[in-house]
Structure 1
Amino acid sequence: MYFVIVAVICVLITVFNLFLLLGVTKRLRDQSKQLAHLMSNAPMPESMIAVGSRPGVFSARTVDGEQVTEAMFTSGGLVGFFSPTCPACAEWLPRFVDSAAALPGGRGEALAVVVAETAAEGADLVADLRGVAMVVVEQAGGPLVTNFEVKGYPAVGRFSADGVLVSNEPPTALAVPAVA
């Protein structure tokens, strides 16, 4: 007799628990949909200076000893900021390399900034970028990061022939123009 009562109570608790679980699952799905809707409508923050502006005044040395300043962008070009601790940077790096390699002025029109605590930490990125861009290694808060107002990585920008930033979104900034 006691066994039947205990079994019935266990079954009732199990059924009650099942209804609670189904309710929580439904609520989580609803919240996921709401969050996805909010995220799709929210503007993404810009990762660097705004389109239509120019970088601030800066001067830096590349890993090859070349001097770079803001004047390098007065005839157009490409800039990219990458961090060795950034998973998205690994995804965008090959696209940056392809886009920089397609620039008519060669590596002189592309600047890649590796933001790392030490040069050794960013050595792999430097090796990947060195052939297609002038590469500067600096710490977070360095002159390039500051003057380009970098807020996240990767930050990529394309400049027009008059030195104005025309794109700061990786997909459009790294679009390789079709050869006619």
Structure 2
Amino acid sequence: MLIEKFDNTILLFIKNNMHFYLLDKLMIFFTMLGNDGRLWIVIGLVLLVTKKYRKEGLLLLISICIGAILGEGIIKHLVCRNRPFTHYPGIKLLISKPKGYSFPSGHTTAAFTSAYVLSKSFRKYTVVFFSIAIAIAFSRLYLYVHYPTDVIGGVVLGIISAKIGIYIFNKVNIKKLRSEVKDFYHS
């Protein structure tokens, strides 16, 4: 199949030509940054508790949740794609074996959702946000836990999730929502 050949050619190229000690450590670091979307969730929470950037934090967290629900909650269980290391039992992983299915990459989804949302509010850091997202996505290939098409799917899903989050956020009257929450707690 053409997709399998594409995926395997890229993974084998990375495995055979790019691995060395320092890059191993760097890729483990970037993958750990993306674990469970923690980096992005922490950024969202910091923004949320900062009065000036509360809206940005809320938008980021909403968008990350949309990506997680769509990717981890729905798509992975519909596609049921095994991870690359399951097809090559001799592969020695540099990280613990991830659980769950491969498509789409959750790390990549969260990273690109976040980079897209954050770059809309903090334009001068766009290159930084997308550089981190790309490094996280590449780390998943380098560490042999995702296929290239899983990462591509994560990029697409991440941007779609960000756009859905922005759309929903713009449609909801934040002042009305705040008022309702305030009334709920004071009644």
TM-score range, shorter chain: under 0.3
TM-score under structure 1 normalisation?
A: 0.28
TM-score under structure 2 normalisation?
A: 0.27
Structure number with higher strand proportion: 1
User: Which of these two proteins has the greater Rg computed from alpha carbons?
Assistant: 1
Structure number with higher helix proportion: 2
